[in-house]
Amino acid sequence: MHVPDGFIDAPVSVAAGAVAAAAVAVSLRGARRELGDTAGSGGLDGERTAPLAGLVAAFIFAVQMLNFPVAAGTSGHLLGGALAAILVGPYTGVLCVSVVLLMQGILFADGGLTALGVNITTMGVVTVVVSYAVFKLLVNVLPKGRRSVTAAAFVGALVSVPASAAFFTLLYAIGGTTDVPIGKVLAAMVGVHVLIGIGEAAITAFTVGAVIAVRPDLVHGARGLATRLKLRVGGELVDAPATAPAPAAARPARKVWAAGLVTTLVLAGFVSYYASASPDGLEKVAADQGIDRKVEEHAAADSPLADYGVKAVSDARLSGGLAGVIGVGATAALGTGVFWVVRRRRTAEAPAV
């Protein structure tokens, strides 16, 4: 659902950019808490949260390359807001998706540069807010357990995609550059993105479930699953004092990070070659409804990585694979750097004890 330049007029694009900037600013502050030291609550040592969050951003980048067919002549791909919010927290999730969209727009000419604010708001902020609200509601009412977290992740991700499509339609109704029947656009956008949402939900639930099965403490949305050890004191049961995890507990986290990075590189460097070549939901609706009549050429159309290929490499399989690997590396590096700085500022601002 990457919105190109020319779909939305300048005033609405500027307004969406302001909303996106505000959301990123708020998320930077919120992410300081999410990326802080969680060892005391049974989570991961704070020094390792930045690389894991960077890996989540890289994973979203890789999976977004894997378009899957959803209807005749239409494909869809992961948006990633729900997955990021549940794995690393909603504030960090907004930053993850924003990093991905920034890298895609600058390096790969995917999503307009003047529409970056629109894309961050639509694909990042809306999906995170909607999915995490639904997720938390379901987790609070369902029986406590890993299956409930996975089921809540499925539903949250499913709802977030058509919500994002509806929000784009609202923006287009306000600042669209062509005169089209908004009712038809809304029906078409929501209809196709409900189908895409099923794929999003399946990917999100599978990924969250896989991480929970190995290290539930790495999943932000599952941290309440751990039961505090009880001690009997004076005839009453009380919570045992929290203790920092043993150094040995950090080694499996490194293994999870390494396994995740290898999986991400394989998805982007190899599996992406077999992705559906059909236009995604927004592209299909835009072509059918006439939204794309004033689309503009991307400012980075001459980028050596435009359209997810290395221009200097003639072999399509190798070109796409190299572009995917470069994108994963660049996204992981930028994301980890951003999250490391955010976490370090949290540490620096922590009051001395």
What was the pLDDT predicted at 255? 85
pLDDT exceeds 60 at position 239: no
Which of the four pLDDT bands, split at 50, 70 and 90, describes residue 243?
very low
What the block records as the tokens of 196 is 């895409």
Say what the pLDDT of residue 246 is: 42
Residues 243 and 195: beta-carbon distance below 8 Å = no
User: Where does the pLDDT of residue 287 fall: very low under 50, low under 70, confident under 90, or very high at 90 and above?
Assistant: very high
pLDDT band at 43, cuts 50/70/90?
very low
**177 falls in which pLDDT band (50, 70, 90)?**
very high
CA torsion angle 193 198 201 203 (round to 10): -110
Tell me the pLDDT tens digit for each residue of 218-238: 899 998 765 554 556 666 655
The CA distances from residue 122 to 89, 128, 140, 167, 189, in Å, are 18, 10, 26, 7, 13
Is it the case that residue 249 has pLDDT exceeding 60? no
Residue for token digits 């390792």? 48
More confident: 253 or 68:
68
User: Residue 71's pLDDT is what?
Assistant: 85
pLDDT of residue 48: 66
- The pLDDT of residue 235 is 63
Q: Which of 109, 91, 47, 44 minimizes the C-alpha distance to 246?
A: 44
Query: What is the chain's length?
Result: 353
pLDDT above 90: residue 286:
yes
Q: What is the pLDDT of residue 36?
A: 75
Six token digits for residue 286: 């835009």
174: left (phi over 0), alpha (psi -120 to 50) or beta: alpha
> CB-based contacts of 251: which residues, under 8 Å, 6+ apart?
none
Q: Which two tokens stand for residue 18?
A: 């302001």
Q: Is residue 289 pLDDT above 50, yes or no?
A: yes
Q: Provide mean pLDDT across the span 35-61.
A: 73
What is the pLDDT at residue 254? 81
Cβ–Cβ under 8 Å, residues 209 and 146: yes
How far apart CA 56 and CA 97 sit, in angstroms, is 9
Which CA distances in Å does 347 have to 44, 89, 222? 15, 18, 24
Q: Which domains does the chain have, with CATH numbers?
A: 10-226+251-349 (1.10.1760.20)
DSSP strand E in 126-182: where? none
Check if the beta carbon of residue 115 is closer than 8 Å to that of residue 3.
yes
| Mutual angle of helices 127-141 and 90-107, in 10-degree steps | 150
The CA-based angle 51-53-59, given to 5 degrees, is: 100
Q: 139-153, 180-194, 246-260: which has the minimum mean pLDDT?
A: 246-260
Element (H, E) at 184: helix 182-214
Query: pLDDT at position 27, please?
Result: 97
The chain-wide mean pLDDT, for the chain, equals 89
Interhelix angle 90-107/316-349, rounded to 10 degrees, is 140
113-128 pLDDT per residue, tens:
999 999 999 999 999 9
Return the pLDDT at 50.
Answer: 87
Residues 180, 289 contacting (CB under 8 angstroms): yes
Using alpha carbons, list the distances in angstroms from residue 65 to 43, 99, 155, 346: 31, 15, 23, 33
In angstroms, the CA 302 to CA 296 distance is: 14
Q: Taking each helix axis as running N to C, give the angle between helix 316-349 and helix 49-64, from 0 to 180 degrees, rounded to the nearest 10.
A: 150
What are the phi and psi torsion angles at 306 (to 5°)? -55, 140
Q: How many CB atoms lie within 10 A of CB 239?
A: 10
CA quadruple 93, 110, 158, 292: dihedral, nearest 10: 140
> Average pLDDT of 309-338?
96
pLDDT exceeds 70 at position 68? yes
- Per-residue pLDDT at 352: 47
What are 13-29's pLDDT values in tens digits? 999 999 999 999 999 99
Q: Tell me if the pTM is above 0.85.
A: yes
Which pLDDT belongs to residue 346? 63
More confident residue, 239 or 181: 181
